[in-house]
Structure 1
Amino acid sequence: MFRRFLAASAFAAMAAAATPAFAQCDTTFTLANASGVTIMELYFSSSNNSNWGNDRLGSNVLPAGRQMTFQPRPGGRYDFRAVFENGSSVERRGVDLCSVSTVTVQRGGISAN
């Protein structure tokens, strides 16, 4: 019985060591709209993915001065794109979601801290 415990403990330790550190981080972030205009569409995806995927706002919009919270999985670097009500857009690439808690959209770009 003790050998089974040791084997199980060793396996669990190896599995934890093999898991990338970014997979275990808190990826929760607040997206703040400081642009002064409504964000009509929001996209973010892993920087490893060449496709933006679906609009994260869905049928909603994000009015100026408002914010939303997201928690994508897994962690790592993400690219962001926001489309404003006039059709213009801003992008930011390579945001490490393991090290930021707020992503702020402005007319001139997207900042992360």
Structure 2
Amino acid sequence: MHITAMSAIVLASLAGVAHAEGAKQDFTLINKTGYELSEVYVSPSKSNDWQEDVLGRDTLGDGERTNIHFSRNTSTCRWDLKVVYTVDSSSAVWSNIDLCSVSKITIRYDKNNDVTRASFE
């Protein structure tokens, strides 16, 4: 697996360090699915690889949020997001998200339709 600088940057962001000068792609991911997430991936839309799990060894519980930070010199605006549920390893994917205009992504699980939805702010 090819590890990019982006992977290291996103992993470092999960240490909870607040950067005074964040990149325009920084965003907060909020889990309102009713379930714990075991993995979260953020990769450039042009990439064929999901890179590393940005949660590392952690999980993201229902109702929890995490801040994902990018290097200030990251220039790509279009990113893909993948989340994996702890309970059954199923996943949900969103493609081509303009993180230069999005600062918060909230995901919710719709039990009636068996689909995970995201809202972008």
User: TM-score category by the smaller chain?
Assistant: 0.7 to 0.9
Structure with higher helix content: 1
Identity of aligned residues (%): 31
Higher mean C-alpha displacement, 72-81 vs 96-105: 72-81
Instruction: Compute the RMSD of aligned alpha carbons.
Output: 1.6
Is residue 2:118 matched to residue 1:110?
yes
1:33 counterpart SS class:
strand
Is residue 2:84 matched to residue 1:76?
no
Tell me which amino acid in the other structure corresponds to 2:117: G
1:14-33 equivalences in 2 (<5 Å): 26-33=24-31
TM-score normalised per structure 2: 0.69
Once the two structures are superposed, residues 1-36 of structure 1 have per-residue CA deviations (whole angstroms, 9 ceiling, x without a partner) of xxxxxxxxxxxxxxxxxxxxxxxx622110000101
Q: Residue in 2 aligned with 1:97?
A: 99
Tell me which amino acid in the other structure corresponds to 1:76: C
TM-score normalised per structure 1: 0.73
Between the two proteins, the alignment pairs up a number of residues equal to 90
Q: Considering only CA atoms, is the larger Rg found in Structure 1 or Structure 2?
A: 1
Following TM superposition, by how much is the alpha carbon of 1:87 offset from its aligned partner in structure 2, in angstroms?
A: 1.2
Q: Residue in 2 aligned with 1:50?
A: 48
Once the two structures are superposed, residues 54-100 of structure 1 have per-residue CA deviations (whole angstroms, 9 ceiling, x without a partner) of 10000000000000001124241000000011211111001111101
**Runs of 4+ more than 2 Å apart:** none
